[in-house]
Amino acid sequence: MEEDPLARLTDVLDRSGVVSALLFDRDVDTASGHELEVALWLDPGWAPLRRLAFGKALFADVVDALGTDLVDVVVLNNASKTLRERVEREGELLLDRDPEVRLALERDQTQIARQASRRRRFQRSRGGSTSSAGRARRTRVRHG
């Protein structure tokens, strides 16, 4: 039995640096050249050029996984507000690795998203939890 294309796509996108992935146009029609459109929120702590390079590399992996180049991968961090709003309205959430950061990015609160992303990376590097008690302990240590 062949694996579901969306499952393959999710597997390819489920990696460090990807905050979330959304599908916002699923009507692939190879005869007309219609594309599958995948929108990504990437780590807000990354520079725009790093996000662009990561998106290009990810595009190649998506093409390999799906077996078609009728795919468009959009990095929402670098996209226009109009496109971000369209994806938010029409998109279907495929992968949500960090809901807190995704929601902050969707609300265009980049600074908050960066702080949440840094906090998550710090917690993972320490093997800690993401609980508010853990955040309070770190705050006291940093300021005390």
Q: Which domains does the chain have, with CATH numbers?
A: 5-108 (3.30.70)
**Per-residue H/E/C for the chain:** CCCCHHHHHHHHHCCCCEEEEEEEECCCECCCCECEEEEEEECCCCCHHHHHHHHHHHHHHHHHHHCCCCEEEEEHHHCCHHHHHHHHHHCEEEEECCHHHHHHHHCCCHHHHHHHHHHHHHHHHHCCCCCHHHHHHHHHHHHC
Global pTM reads: 0.70
Give 27-67 pLDDT, tens digit per residue. Answer: 555 455 557 899 999 999 999 999 999 999 999 999 999 88
Give 20-29 pLDDT, tens digit per residue. Answer: 999 987 555 5
Under the banding of pLDDT at 50, 70 and 90, the label for residue 140 is very low
**How would you class 87 by CB atoms within 10 Å of its CB: exposed for 0-12, middle for 13-18, buried for 19 or more?**
buried
Look at 119 and 57; give whichever has higher pLDDT. Answer: 57
